[in-house]
Amino acid sequence: MQWKEMHGWTVKMSMPSVLAMVTVFSMIPGGVMSDTRGTQGLEAQQIAQGSTHLHRRLKRGWIWKQLFVPEEDPTPRVIGQLKSDYDRGEFSIKYILSGDGAGDAFEIDEYSGEIRTLKKLDREEKAFYVLQAQAINRRSNEPVEPQSEFIITVQDINDNVPQFQNEPYVSSIPEMCLIGTTVAQVTATDADDPMFGNNAKLIYSVLQGEPYFSVEPKTGIIVTSWPNMDREAREQYLVVVQVKDMLGLSGGYSSSTTVTVSLTDVNDNGPTFQHHLYTFAVPENAAEGTTVGRVMAYDGDSGINAKMTYSLEDDLEESSTFIIKTDPVTQEGLILLAKPLDYETKRRFVMAAEAVNDHVDTRFLDLEEFRDRTTLKIIVEDVDEPPVFLSEVYEWKVPENAAVGTVVGSVSARDTDTVNNPIRYSIDKRRDNTKAFKIDPNNGTIIVAKALDRETTNWHNITVEAKETTQSHLSSSVVVFIKVLDINDNVPRLARDYQPYICEGTQAGELIQLLSAVDPDDPVEGHHFYFSMVPEKHINPNFTIRDNQDNTAGIVARRSSFTRKDRTQYLLPVVVTDSGSPALSSTNTLTISVCSCQPAGHCPTGGVEALALSMGVSLQTLLGIVVCFITLIVLSILMLVVRRHRRKQQEKLEVEGKELELPETVSQKVLYYGETGGVGADLNFCQPAVPLRRHPRRRERRLRREDVRASIRMSLRESHLIGPDDDVFRQFILDRLTEADLDPYVPPFDCLRTYAYEGLGSPTGSLSSLDSSTTELEPEQPISNPRTYTVRLTPWYWGGEEDTIF
């Protein structure tokens, strides 16, 4: 231990601290500095506090300003001691420590002034601490020394491993590059103090990658150290670089990183064919553009340096039959067929193919080393081919009047194969609708099969098929066009159905109608028609025909004063002749009508006036006939209406007389005959009962009113002969009762409260009101039998004929 006495403060340090102090003093001047301001400050403070005792001003010596503590030391230890000159060992001075780390990293013994560490320190976290020390009189609680500031510096030790930055490292260099070419630069950092010792002094070296690469020890720059590195031999290298601190001395830390180095391609290789001769085979019927084969020139380079172009050199046997193209993806040479092949003409082709690099680099190879050549041999294979016609199309002409059997022309085909098989000819019936021609199957001669007509069909297109007679039956076809030539076989005729007219008052020499003609024929020099009148003994005094020499003619009046009174129509035959050889003509008779034209010279062609003209009568006469005809039609219609009305009235009366219309009260009510105790009974209707259902055959069972009355009268007359105990009367009642019970459509049975049997010669007569002509009653008679009888009256109203006979 060493003690150092100073005026005012005494600092006690351990030997390591002294050594550290000496080192710091040599590096940082001003480590020990005088401080006179502290005393002045203290005196001013004492005056301000009103102290009555002024200390004697002492000359301050060197004040200790910096202490040192090693980092990463876990043992608490005393790093120094502060002691005032006024401290006499009586513990009257109290030492106080404040500032960075006070109480946390450092503490001071308030009695002895020893400063010690409290925990392990890390320089990389905090390199120094600024603290303040103060000495206070315990009794007066006043400072005996001015507050002094000092620094505790954490001394660095080598406790950090160097670290590489910006990993991973990837670099590329061109192949065949020179020695010393820079590849990449690696950079490492060390967190230790670079100003203290060699803790942060780094050295680089290569662990893997020699002898191809080396690294500069201080900068970390990697360079090539091997000449002519070939990418085709090896494309990628892994270089491991190590970095050490402490300048590589033992006891230091180290780390490593990997640098991936790739060689980029340069054009240092030319194309090379693997074979000197390539042989291919292609059938003779291959289509143009067919790929015959592929050739490949190997180039060790890649990318743009491997691109090449293939070409065929002028060979001994027409290389124009084939072409070669470069496949942009595979860099292969595609051999394509450019012209049709024929085994019988040429069976083998020999040519030279060349491959040349598109981009050359003469730094590495000569110009001739960027190309290579090989020989191509292409063999044509024989294929059984269909017959071939000597001409691709045939076109013939035949007159339309050619007789059946006339030879039109001949087609010819041959088998191009070496065997030369026989051929048969035929016309494709699927495409020949007219069937106007036939062909000889052996020699291909085509003849007329039926009469021709140019006006119906002027062109015939037929397909001739040539087929080999062998088992393969190979065939081919050709189109034959046959044009039918025109002959003058149609007579000319007028262009349309002319209806000429001449107005009354037309003058001689005026044009009446312009005529034109047509002819289905088609002469080579064109049509030319001649118009004339039929030669007669006497010249036509009314009209003449003027030929205009342009295929038209006009009808001209010879005289004037045409009137309808004299004549309404004239017939004029017109002869039309063509210019054919022989010339043909036709005669057309025109009907020229005399017309009462309108002021503008127009002859009506429709309406009443035109109809009158066509009938040859005057307009007034035609109107009178029409009025009379309309009057007759109206009268006939009125007579028919009146007759039909009378017939309907008569039919209505007959229907009313034939049908019996019964009142609703009869069909829906029940008759009630009541007897109040006397012989004279009152006749009343019963109260309304349930409505009757309509019988489906009710209208069919209706009887005529007279028939019903006659039936009632007959029944009443016969009732005088039949007694109530008679079997016939009883059976009649039972039958009617059964019928009423079984028939769902009949109304309820009639109710008669009293039914008296009159017997023979009864003076009272019939009880039925249907046959009564008066409502007066006969004098009352005593009734011998007081029993009430009921009988069903339905047969008298709606029953059939068999029900009305007792």
The answer to whether 591 and 552 have CB atoms below 8 angstroms apart is: no
What pLDDT, on the 0 to 100 scale, is given for residue 122?
87
β-bridge partners, 372: 355
Task: Find the angle CA(775)-CA(776)-CA(781) to the nearest 5 degrees.
Answer: 125
Task: Find the angle CA(147)-CA(149)-CA(154) to the nearest 5 degrees.
Answer: 150
Residues 6 or more apart in contact with residue 368 via CB below 8 angstroms: none
> Does the pLDDT of residue 41 top 50, yes or no?
no
What pLDDT, on the 0 to 100 scale, is given for residue 333?
95
Q: Which two tokens stand for residue 240?
A: 């491991």
CA distance 596 to 556: 18
- Interhelix angle 619-658/607-615, nearest 10 degrees: 100
Residues 6 or more apart in contact with residue 6 via CB below 8 angstroms: 60, 61, 62, 63, 64
Q: What is the pLDDT of residues 531-585, one digit of tens each?
A: 999 887 678 889 999 999 999 999 999 998 888 888 889 999 999 999 888 899 9
Strands 66-70, 2-5: parallel, antiparallel or unpaired by DSSP?
A: unpaired
> Does the pLDDT of residue 680 top 70, yes or no?
no
What pLDDT, on the 0 to 100 scale, is given for residue 620?
73
Q: Which two tokens stand for residue 276?
A: 């000197």
Report the share of the chain in percent with pLDDT over 90.
37
Q: 469 vs 593, which has greater pLDDT?
A: 593
What pLDDT, on the 0 to 100 scale, is given for residue 313?
81
**Where would I find the beta strands (DSSP E) of 245-305?**
254-264, 272-273, 277-283, 291-295, 297-298
Please spell the DSSP secondary structure of 655-667, one letter per residue: HHHHS----HHHH
> Does the pLDDT of residue 421 top 90, yes or no?
no
CA neighbours closer than 13 Å in the CB half-sphere of residue 109: 14
What pLDDT, on the 0 to 100 scale, is given for residue 193?
83
What pLDDT, on the 0 to 100 scale, is given for residue 654?
75
Q: What is the pLDDT of residues 652-667, one digit of tens each?
A: 877 766 654 444 444 4
Average pLDDT of 99-114? 88
The answer to whether 580 and 523 have CB atoms below 8 angstroms apart is: yes
Q: What is the pLDDT of residues 175-230, one digit of tens each?
A: 999 999 999 999 999 988 888 888 889 999 999 999 999 999 999 999 999 998 99
Q: Is the dihedral of CA 722, 727, 730, 735 positive or negative?
A: negative
Q: 378 vs 40, which has greater pLDDT?
A: 378
β-bridge partners, 563: none
Q: Which two tokens stand for residue 576?
A: 């039309």
Measured between alpha carbons, how far is residue 479 from residues 465, 473, 732 in Å?
Answer: 9, 20, 106
β-bridge partners, 99: 131
Strands 475-485, 459-468: parallel, antiparallel or unpaired by DSSP?
A: antiparallel
Task: Find the angle CA(698)-CA(701)-CA(706) to the nearest 5 degrees.
Answer: 125
Looking at residue 112, its amino acid is S
Average pLDDT of 767-771? 51
Q: How confident is the model at residue 66 (pLDDT cuts 50, 70, 90)?
A: confident
Please state, rounded to an integer, the average pLDDT across all residues of the chain. Answer: 78
Q: How confident is the model at residue 88 (pLDDT cuts 50, 70, 90)?
A: confident
What pLDDT, on the 0 to 100 scale, is given for residue 481?
95
CA distance 110 to 514: 153
- 168 cis-preceded (ω within 30 degrees of 0): yes
**Where would I find the beta strands (DSSP E) of 400-457?**
407-410, 413-414, 423-427, 437-439, 445-448
Q: 794 vs 495, which has greater pLDDT?
A: 495
Nearest to 626 by CA among 647, 612, 644: 612
Q: How confident is the model at residue 721 (pLDDT cuts 50, 70, 90)?
A: low
The answer to whether 750 and 794 have CB atoms below 8 angstroms apart is: yes
Measured between alpha carbons, how far is residue 320 from residues 314, 349, 378, 380, 382 in Å?
Answer: 9, 10, 13, 15, 21
In this structure, the number of other CB atoms found within 10 A of the CB of residue 435 comes to 11
What pLDDT, on the 0 to 100 scale, is given for residue 711?
60
CA distance 311 to 370: 14
> Does the pLDDT of residue 44 top 50, yes or no?
no
CA distance 43 to 55: 8
N residues, the chain: 806
CA distance 273 to 525: 73
Q: What is the DSSP letter of 102?
A: B
The answer to whether 106 and 129 have CB atoms below 8 angstroms apart is: yes
**Helices of type H across 241-382:** none
The answer to whether 164 and 187 have CB atoms below 8 angstroms apart is: yes
Average pLDDT of 585-613? 75
The answer to whether 135 and 175 have CB atoms below 8 angstroms apart is: no
Q: How confident is the model at residue 754 (pLDDT cuts 50, 70, 90)?
A: very low
> Does the pLDDT of residue 35 top 80, yes or no?
no
CA distance 798 to 758: 25
Q: What is the pLDDT of residues 424-458, one digit of tens each?
A: 999 998 888 888 999 999 999 999 999 999 888 99
Strands of the sheet with 751-752, listed across from one edge: 682-685, 671-674, 751-752
What pLDDT, on the 0 to 100 scale, is given for residue 713?
59
Residues 6 or more apart in contact with residue 54 via CB below 8 angstroms: 43, 46, 47
The answer to whether 782 and 679 have CB atoms below 8 angstroms apart is: yes
Average pLDDT of 161-183? 93
CA distance 475 to 467: 4
Q: 444 vs 801, which has greater pLDDT?
A: 444
The answer to whether 564 and 552 have CB atoms below 8 angstroms apart is: no
> Does the pLDDT of residue 63 top 80, yes or no?
no
Residues 6 or more apart in contact with residue 659 via CB below 8 angstroms: 702, 704
β-bridge partners, 493: 518
Rg of the chain, C-alpha, whole Å: 74
Nearest to 303 by CA among 163, 410, 175: 175
The answer to whether 155 and 20 have CB atoms below 8 angstroms apart is: yes
β-bridge partners, 169: 259
CA distance 668 to 441: 103
Nearest to 801 by CA among 701, 660, 659: 701
Looking at residue 705, its amino acid is R
Q: What is the DSSP letter of 511?
A: E
What are phi and psi for residue 698, nearest 5 degrees? Answer: -65, -45
Q: How confident is the model at residue 619 (pLDDT cuts 50, 70, 90)?
A: low
CA distance 301 to 268: 7
Average pLDDT of 692-703? 47
b/e per residue, 621-642, with b = 16+ CB within 10 A?
A: ebeeeeeeeeeeeeeeeeeeee
Residues 6 or more apart in contact with residue 733 via CB below 8 angstroms: 791, 792
Nearest to 411 by CA among 398, 429, 400, 396: 396
Average pLDDT of 481-503? 91
What pLDDT, on the 0 to 100 scale, is given for residue 718?
56
Task: Find the angle CA(683)-CA(688)-CA(692) to the nearest 5 degrees.
Answer: 115
Report the share of the chain in percent with pLDDT over 70.
72
> Does the pLDDT of residue 343 top 60, yes or no?
yes
Helix (H) or strand (E) holding 184: strand 182-185
Residue with tokens 């109480």: 103
The answer to whether 385 and 413 have CB atoms below 8 angstroms apart is: no
CA distance 213 to 263: 13
607: helix, coil or strand? Answer: helix
Q: What is the pLDDT of residues 224-281, one digit of tens each?
A: 999 989 998 999 999 999 999 988 788 789 999 999 999 999 988 999 999 999 999 9
What are phi and psi for residue 652, nearest 5 degrees? Answer: -65, -40
Task: Find the angle CA(186)-CA(187)-CA(191) to the nearest 5 degrees.
Answer: 155
What pLDDT, on the 0 to 100 scale, is given for residue 516?
94
What pLDDT, on the 0 to 100 scale, is given for residue 795?
45
Looking at residue 665, its amino acid is T
677 φ/ψ sector (left φ>0, alpha ψ -120 to 50, else beta): left
Residue with tokens 């502060």: 82
CA distance 466 to 439: 11
Nearest to 20 by CA among 112, 507, 28: 28
Q: 16 vs 47, which has greater pLDDT?
A: 16
